[in-house]
Structure 1
Amino acid sequence: MMKAMLLILLFAMPWATQTAQAEAGLHLRAVDVDLTDHAALQRGAKYFVNYCLSCHSLSAVRYNLFERLGLTPDQIRENLIFTGRKIGETMEVAMRPEDAKRWFGAPPPDLSVIARARGADWLYAYLTTFYLDDTRPTGVDNLAFPKVAMPNVIWQLQGQQAAVYADGATRPPSTDAPIDHLNLVQPGTMTPVEYERTARDLVGFLVYVGEPNKVQRQNLGLWVLSFLGLLFVVSYFLKKEYWKDVRH
């Protein structure tokens, strides 16, 4: 009985998540993550260690994992390790959980498997839908994560966005009109197209660290299915050969 309930919950969670997002008016944009594009994954790693690693750890990931992306140990030490950690150690943060809770209200979550938990499309929406909101302590809110405690740490790249509501207002109306879209009101150092690529690279990196062997697993799966298909054909003709003289 317990196993059956767990299976029901497992299959119901994606549907429930999509339903909640639809009710909130969040339209997820499909993100095409190419885990064979090592250059994009390297850029994503660069953005993560520069903008995210000061608060969010990757406790299931070691720095030497990036050797699989074509980086040498020296390149990893020079470009991705800014603390005294060694290349074989995990990507931890120096901030203490009690300090994080006092500053942000809750410790920033570990992001080792965030892509598997939330999905690449949600992560992309999260990184691209911060908007100005002077009612929030950090001055911003997020369409994908309403009432988010995290500030927009990469606003200098993207710029600042403002919400435009369904009734055309640019500030929260007295009615419950939903947010229609976001307008860029202060440009960042990147153009919108450049920032979208940056967000996609960062999402791709988080997808990669969540399952580094995904490409190898998928390739192996193709070989296994091909072998089983060939075995089926051989077995079928063997069966016909062995049973052709059997009379019923």
Structure 2
Amino acid sequence: MNRHASLLLIFSLVVGQALAASSNIPLDTFPSSRVNNNAALQNGAKLFFNYCLGCHGISQVRYSRLKDLGLTESQIKENLFQNSSLANSATTIVSPMKAKDAKVWLGKAPPDLSLTARSRSSHDGSGADWIYTYLRSYYADSSQRTGWNNLVYPGVGMPNVLWDLQGTNTVRFTEETVNGNKTGKQLVSLETTEPGRMTKAEFDENMADLTAFLVWASDPTGQFRKQLGVWVLLFLSIFVFVAWRLNAAYWKDIK
């Protein structure tokens, strides 16, 4: 097989997997203001460490970065993890689950979530929109190995680890037909049949916080860069004005 054929095969496999995991469900809009809200980011971090870190890491983020969210060492120890010395550590945040164990238990190692907020961006919406909608789109499905499915990611291998907060949802589909030919399923309703510990509004708010944390994790220094950029632009504006006036003073007598 020549080089071009190999590349074509790889491209076909990647596109095929992407299409297999796609859906026609419109993405909800993530409330982006939460990314600048430390309280929301702190709650999102708590949810991530309690519900996600067992399988998923954010290996591009160091433990010491969590202090950027306004968390103290005592808060980190109380709400996130017991080993508070990690709060000052340059160690990256990885899942304690070993890849070889994950392959045995789950079929493959769960993905690292460091850049999910970027990689899931598409013409349908931002990566944050995708995460926010995905987290709220689980429903019970006895045909799946885990007992769960997802409207945004049909056939997803991950169970709904947030079911105790959200409750159990069920869906109703109708078959779409064109000229008598079935073309797919159309979502009719997504309803909660067994309530969780949170109301729908509370769950949506918490998922917005978790999404905000993952957006922050994809670029932990982003907010600092934006703030620094304002000062840099202000400095350059002043510098240009001073240089212009100084240039005028130098050339005044010559003219």
- Please indicate, yes or no, whether the TM-score normalized by the shorter chain is above 0.5: yes
Which residue does the alignment assign to 2:108? 106
Unaligned 5+ runs, structure 1: 1-15, 169-173
Work out whether 1:29 is the aligned partner of 2:31.
Answer: no
User: What is the deviation of 1:146?
Assistant: 1.4
Alpha-carbon contact 1:131-1:160 (below 8 Å) kept: yes
Work out whether 1:57 is the aligned partner of 2:65.
Answer: no
User: What is the deviation of 1:67?
Assistant: 1.4
Q: Deviations over 1:43-93 (max 9, x none)?
A: 111111110011111222222212122222232123211569833132222
User: What is the deviation of 1:230?
Assistant: 6.2
Work out whether 1:66 is the aligned partner of 2:74.
Answer: no
Q: Deviations over 1:156-189 (max 9, x none)?
A: 1001111121369xxxxx8733223311111111
* 1:123 corresponds to which of 131, 142, 145: 131
Residue correspondences, number:
222
Which residue does the alignment assign to 2:80? 80
Q: Deviations over 1:88-113 (max 9, x none)?
A: 13222221111111211110111122
User: What is the deviation of 1:232?
Assistant: 6.7
Alpha-carbon contact 1:160-1:188 (below 8 Å) kept: yes
C-alpha change, 1:134 and 1:225, in structure 2 (3 Å) is: same
SS class of match (1:189): coil
Which residue does the alignment assign to 1:13? none
Alpha-carbon contact 2:166-2:197 (below 8 Å) kept: yes
Segment drifting more, 108-117 vs 81-90: 81-90
Work out whether 1:210 is the aligned partner of 2:247.
Answer: no
Alpha-carbon contact 1:155-1:188 (below 8 Å) kept: yes
CA distance in 2, matches of 1:141, 1:163: 10
User: What is the deviation of 1:222?
Assistant: 3.3
* 1:160 corresponds to which of 154, 159, 168: 168
Q: TM-score, normalised by structure 2?
A: 0.75
The 5-angstrom pairing of residues 89-104 of structure 1 reads 89-104=91-106
The 5-angstrom pairing of residues 115-194 of structure 1 reads 115-118=117-120, 119-166=127-174, 176-194=184-202
CA distance in 2, matches of 1:201, 1:191: 15
CA distance in 2, matches of 1:149, 1:85: 34
The CA RMSD over aligned residues, in Å, is 3.1
Segment drifting more, 84-93 vs 45-54: 84-93
CA distance in 2, matches of 1:231, 1:189: 57
Letter in 2 for 1:165: F
CA distance in 1, matches of 2:69, 2:130: 24
SS class of match (1:42): helix
Identity of aligned residues (%): 40
Alpha-carbon contact 2:174-2:188 (below 8 Å) kept: yes
SS class of match (1:178): strand
CA distance in 2, matches of 1:51, 1:92: 14
Alpha-carbon contact 1:113-1:209 (below 8 Å) kept: yes
Alpha-carbon contact 2:168-2:195 (below 8 Å) kept: yes
User: What is the deviation of 1:225?
Assistant: 4.2
Q: Deviations over 1:215-244 (max 9, x none)?
A: 1222233344455566677888999997xx
CA distance in 1, matches of 2:150, 2:82: 29
Alpha-carbon contact 1:31-1:124 (below 8 Å) kept: yes
